[in-house]
Chains A and B, each alone.
Chain A
């Protein structure tokens, strides 16, 4: 039986308390099906604990959650049948080869149509371990183990793949490989993964959630998170006497903020506006009204996830 809900993960007030300390506080997550969802947070923010609650490895102190439509506490086995999970520091039986490991993992799931050997080869190909399929795992590098981790999580064609810090311990090349694999996987399944490497999230995710000290600070599409609370801001760099222009700009009702900073003989402006159209049609003209002012740069400010993350997390901790 499968769920008709458009959400792969849905939690309500999910909380985990150890002693008196709430490691995860009343989290309401909504992960749409067929998305790549980045779960961001600093080390110790509560990402792994949340993921472990979702797969039934630890019991929530409060709240509830559905994964692929199944209750995480009452139907944990059904949840685990429908998901693939990669732990932060995954360990396998070192005496087995990747092929044997995948065979071992596949045997926990109901048999699928088609041959298992063929599926194993497909998955090994997907993660680029085909040539090492019959070597013992004990000599594998971190990147190879991580790739095998993804392979074992996907062997049964899960509806959802949960990856806990899949790239954090890898070198740049290993990270690139794993991100590529995740990109390739998105056509088959939903991916929910945690990380603190923000550039990766911005590269491949459709949606993000940011958790800080166990509290969900924000969640939504990348675009909505990037523009949240910031409004529209334009960056302008000028030379010359700008006093008169500043006065003119401050009188405009559609300009919400005006910050300037002098650097290397140039004035850098950050101008917040309420309306993108007004800004594009009038802002530059206003600046150039004064003949002494020369504009060397003009453009809309683009935010990086890192800025948002630092603002949100620093804001919370203040």
Chain B
């Protein structure tokens, strides 16, 4: 007799998903913000690091006469993106190695909920620690030169860029166990993106210009006429929002690939 005749059907319940997602998200955030002392410690550490590195860049860029704030923003973005990549480079593979992944997934936890809870919690942490607080600190030190509307736009742009690198790293962590690939690809993209911020405005580099439209680099690189520091001062949005839309699509695509691959994995 076919066993399927006997089975009790149980349709997919959104409650399963929500319950798992929020439970895992709470756990993930609790790791970062277990108590007030550790929250302040994290904020202080990253603020000092970001300020130092941005300052160093500003000094070393004196000879090539950078536009106002560009080096500082580049440094800020560099630190935020690097922190995002480093915090996610083995977030899933470590759980697989230690066995906690099999443990969690023996509960009624959809794998997509597991994946997104981890990623989104890290995105929130990155937004708070690396972008928002640094941004407030930055704006406070440069007040009144900074435009409030521009400042909020910059926060959105930088957050998107950091999320792009985070979702890419998480996807790579599911796809490969090779550490060089997991770290190398996102870091290479961050470095190339930073390199483009040093170019003259509107350079005519055939073939590469298109990348400015397709990758988050275009938000903070003169490749397509965009310049985040300029937004900060003038309050005007970027010249073209193509890189913003492209970045959102990339994030969606990385998540879809990552979840699909995790769903197929055997534990």
Contacts and interface: CB of A to CB of B under 8 A. Distances in A.
Contact of B23 (A59, A92, A104): A104
Interface in A80-96: 80-81, 85, 87, 89-93, 95
Given A1-B8, A57-B267, A109 B100 contact: no
A74 B105 CA distance: 16
A1 B9 contact: yes
B99 A108 contact: no
Contact of A95 (B20, B31, B98): B31
A66 B6 contact: yes
A22 to B, nearest CB: 16
Given A1-B10, A108-B19, A91 B103 contact: yes
A244 to B, nearest CB: 58
A81 B99 CA distance: 20
Interface in A28-55: 52, 55
B7 to A, nearest CB: 5
Nearest to B109: A108
A296 interface: no
A107 interface: yes
A69 interface: yes
B23 A108 contact: yes
B100 A93 contact: yes
B36 interface: no
A66 B7 contact: yes
A78 B10 contact: yes
B108 A87 contact: no
B135 to A, nearest CB: 30
B63 interface: no
A73 B107 CA distance: 15
Count class of interface residues, chain B: 20 to 34
Contacts of A85: 106
A109 B18 CA distance: 11
Contacts, number: 93
Given A3-B8, A71-B7, A95-B31, A77 B102 contact: no
Contact of B7 (A75, A95, A107, A110): A75
Contact of A81 (B27, B98, B103, B108): B108
Nearest to A105: B107
Nearest to B264: A59
A147 interface: no
Given A57-B102, A59-B266, A87-B103, A108 B108 contact: yes
B266 A77 contact: no
A5 B6 contact: yes
Contact of A57 (B19, B27, B31, B105): B105
A80 B7 contact: no
A112 interface: no
Contacts of A71: 3-4, 7
A77 B267 CA distance: 15
Contacts of B109: 80, 108
Nearest to A75: B10
Given A91-B98, A91-B99, A107 B23 contact: yes
Contacts of A89: 99
B204 interface: no
A87 B99 contact: yes
A32 B256 CA distance: 41
A2 B8 contact: yes
With most chain B CB atoms within 10 A of its CB, the pick from A12, A78, A80, A85 is A78
A64 interface: yes
B3 A64 contact: yes
Given A70-B8, A107-B23, A77 B110 contact: yes
Interface in A124-164: none
Contact of B100 (A57, A65, A91): A91
B7 A69 contact: yes
A10 interface: yes
B103 A92 contact: yes
A69 B6 contact: yes
Contacts of A3: 6, 8
A52 B267 contact: yes
A109 B4 contact: no
A58 interface: yes
Interface in B9-54: 9-10, 12-13, 15-16, 19-20, 23, 27, 31
A212 to B, nearest CB: 23
Interface in A1-30: 1-3, 5, 10-12
Contacts of A80: 106-109
A93 B26 CA distance: 14
A120 to B, nearest CB: 15
Interface string B181-198: 000000000000000000
Contacts of B103: 87, 90-92
5 contacts: A2-B8, A64-B3, A66-B3, A71-B7, A77-B16
Interface of B: 2-4, 6-10, 12-13, 15-16, 19-20, 23, 27, 31, 98-100, 102-103, 105-110, 266-267
Q: Which 5 A-B pairs have the closest CB atoms?
A: A78-B10, A91-B99, A69-B8, A85-B106, A58-B266
Given A66-B3, A77-B110, A107-B23, 13 more contacts: A1-B8, A3-B6, A52-B266, A69-B7, A69-B8, A75-B7, A78-B108, A81-B108, A87-B99, A90-B99, A91-B103, A93-B100, A109-B108
